[in-house]
Structure 1
Amino acid sequence: MSTQKSVEKVVLAYSGGLDTSAIVPWLKENYDCEVVAFVADVGQGDEELAGVEEKAIASGASSCHIVDLKEKFVNDVIFPTLKTGAIYEGQYLLGTALARPIIAEAQVAVARAVGADALAHGCTGKGNDQVRFESAFAALAPDLHVIAPWREWSMRSRPQLLAYLAERNIPCSASATKIYSRDANLWHISTEGGELEDPWNAPTAQVWTWTAEPEAAPNTPEYLTLSFKQGEWVALNGEAIEPVGAIEALNKVAGAHGVGRLDMVENRLVGMKSRGCYETPAGAVLFAALQGLESLVLDRTTQDYRIRLGNEFAQLLYDGRWFTPLREIMLAAAHKLAEPLTGDIVVKLYKGQVTVTQKRSPNSLYSNAFATFDEDEVYNQQHAEGFIRLYSLAARIRALHQQSDEASS
């Protein structure tokens, strides 16, 4: 191949998996450059991070920078996004898309620190992540060259990548028989490939790794009390827990009840449909709790607007437009909308379902004095007649015109 630009030092978003293990030597051979590996710890777990620095060096990287991004991920991305109520295509809590801005930002910071003149990623030319990473790079470091090996090299399969590494005596724990492609972070784990490539195939038990089969989950429901202040996380069952620990705890307890599973065919940004199985136990609980609180404290028109904001923010995040003025504007609106979201929510976890059973807030707009079916002294039901006449005035005028036209004809 011929390169379009001379590169001296590149920072690669490295995971230690098959693709990025092959990318390290490929970059050195085809760009004749130094490769610095960058690993983002976004809560994917100790198992995935174990030995990753040694793997990177063994693959040919000059150094490996592991950056702990968990707190920043939660405080700067996850919880602000929760305030918007973002959910993609009515189902997806955006686990993969949520992590990309924070990873790309840290990758650029490492590149600046080591004096790199290029960035590289292992995203394929078919997916959304290439757009997310490169849109972030464009906004944060337009001067750095971006290399996307999957759009340049001739390798197209796992056996070819494994053979490439074997020829160079580079160790890799991957095998040619790997069934699934997974992506994990503190918020979720996604699974694609294998039997999921046929939408007619139901996912087998091997697909799910964080959540119990709902039928095999405990026969006794579990109740949790979640507390919020102005939409910000406060406590679980009355105990103050910092946000990262709260998500980890909710993932365990909700996952044990089979909560947070999603089997979805979605529309990718690049135009094709794809199927993925997502597990987001903590996200499902937090999303339900905040929606329950919203129902208590937001009036109808404000809640309608929040729903529209959530849909638009989900599209923005899914499409990789985090580093834009629009994101700042929308989050400012979300923070304002969340100001009255103070209170406690009780959720019931049972056989794959999360249900809000109790809610209270000092900002509640619910008034038993007005809503009661019993006798009250605050609502004159006769007033409803005038309201209905005005509310239906347009329909009444239209009908009167029609009657007049029919009579004249």
Structure 2
Amino acid sequence: MAKETVVLAYSGGLDTSCILLWLLEQGYDVVAYMANIGQEEDFDEAKKKATKIGAKKVIIEDLRESFVKEFVWPAVSSGLIYESRYLLGTSLARPCISLGLVQAARKEGATYVSHGATGKGNDQVRFELSCYALWPQVKILAPWRIREFTERFQGRQDLLQYAASHGIPVPVTTKAPWSMDANLMHISYESGILEDPSQAAPPEIYQMTTDPMKSPNTPTLLEITFKNGVPASVKNLTDGRGPYTNPLEMFVYLNKVAGQNSVGRIDIVENRFLGLKSRGVYETPGGTILHQAHVDLEAFCLDREVLRLKSYLRDKMADYVYNGFWFSPECEFVRRSIQLSQEHVTGWVRVQLYKGTALAVSRNSLVALYNQSLVSMDEHGDFEPEDATGFIKTHAIRLREFQRFKTQAANLNK
């Protein structure tokens, strides 16, 4: 009887390397699927490792351009940020990887897809909801939810011993056992010593950003241009580099210059979809600059009520993306609604980078609701100051009536 085929979302790290071997022990043929979404990875070495472990085939797919244009750019134009701090780097990568994973599984005639996400985290939900949305008939093997696996492996220490006993090299040691996930947009760190939120993350953990104490002592000024809410170009006004207009090149450059200036670090406790609170340390250098610039240009270009309604939709979409519903009807509806708000978000923003900060210092658009002569304190323009009297008195009616109401209520209680 022919073995059933599993396509495993393979990272080359501890969990998926051990899972690859465990799936082979269960009698499956395993195809290892690796998505290049900008992580610093030696893909040739990872392929050799997976092949040595026993993978029937290793697929490596370059999704960097797709990741930026189809996932990061919509997130930037939507202003996505989860719980006011997290720019969703991992959350955006999962549906991108899932697309490639499902396509590979169908092409290989696989019965199952598998992943290394834990039973306590968000990624299991993100991967599986995406896969079910893209391929409703898919079957999923999630080892961290299979009793035979979890009874054998309580956590990462057991995996480290298993890897060592089978000669599987992994970039994690018992001395520094935190987990990291990297892509073009960010690196996230969790677990190990980071599980104690009262302890600061060790300085050596950061890989994308320079220590603020060691970053340049002079600021860097960037000019970022948007067209219909989407990043269109980046130019360094300090050293003249650019303009960069290719999406991938633009984002790679932003990561570099932001990282040099220590921009994009956060250390937070967040609310996972399953109801648990978790501590995460993130580096999102280029994404932080784009977010700050886009927010600034939106305030310049959009009507107040449209901006507030868009902000509400932004928060809803951020929840959908964080929770794994990128391919859901509600997320598609909100995404399209937000796109309408971006029709006139076109112009440039100059952002100053300095020792961990990204500060918008000026902006311009040919189509904006900012009217300098109307708002100026040095001229009346088309504004009639006397009109403010009626405006104020009309709004005061409700406040006066509320005061009358409170007086009546107080008299009744005497």
Deviation (angstroms), 1:240: 3.9
1:301-326 per-residue CA deviation (whole Å, 9 max, x = no partner) reads 11111211111111100100011111
CA contact (8 A) 2:92 2:321 kept: yes
| TM superposition score normalised by structure 2 | 0.92
Deviation (angstroms), 1:220 = 0.5
Match of 2:211 in 1: 213
Quote the residue 1:28 is aligned against: 24
Q: How much does 1:189 deviate?
A: 0.4
The residue aligned with 1:193 is 191
Q: Deviation of residue 390 (structure 1)?
A: 1.6
Distance 1:380 1:241 in 2: 45
Residue 262 of structure 1 contacts residue 277 of structure 1 at CA under 8 Å; is this kept in 2?
yes
Kept after mapping to 1: 8 A contact 2:172/2:178: no
CA distance in 2, matches of 1:320, 1:362: 38
1:253-276 superposed Cα distances (whole Å, 9 cap, x missing partner): 011111101010111111211111
What residue in structure 2 maps to residue 8 of structure 1?
A: 4
Unmatched segments (≥5 aa) in structure 2: 236-241
Tell me the residue number matched to 2:125: 131
1:158–1:176 CA contact under 8 A, matched in 2:
no
**What are the within-5 Å matches in structure 2 for residues 154-169 of structure 1?**
154-169=152-167
Q: Give the direction of change, closer, same or farther, for the CA distance of 1:33–1:345 in structure 2 (3 Å limit).
A: same
Correspondence for 1:81: 75
Root-mean-square deviation (Å): 2.0
Write the letter of the residue equivalent to 1:392: A
**1:146 maps onto 2:140 in alignment:** yes
Choose the corresponding residue for 2:107, options 97, 107, 113.
113
Matched with 1:39 is 34
User: What CA distance in whole angstroms lies between the structure 2 residues aligned with 1:16 and 1:115?
Assistant: 23
d(CA) in 2 for partners of 1:385, 1:404: 28
Offset of residue 170 of structure 1: 4.7
Cα separation, 2, equivalents of 1:349 and 1:289: 12
SS at match of 1:284: helix
Alignment-derived partner of residue 3 in structure 1? none
Q: Tell me, in whole angstroms, the C-alpha distance in 2 between the residues paired with 1:165 and 1:210.
A: 28
After TM superposition, the score normalised by the length of structure 1 is 0.93
Provide the residue aligned with 2:321 in structure 1. 317
Contact 1:19–1:122 at 8 Å: present in 2 too? Answer: yes
Contact 1:37 1:56 in 2 (8 A): yes
Greater mean alpha carbon deviation, residues 227-236 or residues 34-43: 227-236
Deviation string 1:236-267 (CA, Å, 9 cap, x unpaired) is: 12624211111110011011111101010111
- Equivalence for 1:254: 258
| Structure 1 alignment gaps of length 5 or more | 1-5
Correspondence for 2:238: none
Alignment of 1:344-359 (within 5 A): 344-359=348-363
Q: Is the 8 A contact 1:192 1:277 kept in 2?
A: yes
The residue correspondences of 1:55-66 to structure 2 (distance < 5 A) are 55-66=49-60
Match of 2:222, SS?
strand
Residue identity in the other structure for 1:126: K
Q: Quote the offset at 1:142 in angstroms.
A: 2.4
Identity of aligned residues (%): 41
Task: Answer yes or no: is the 8 Å Cα contact 1:122–1:149 preserved in 2.
Answer: yes
SS at 1:321 equivalent: coil
Match of 2:239 in 1: none
AA partner of residue 218 (structure 1): P
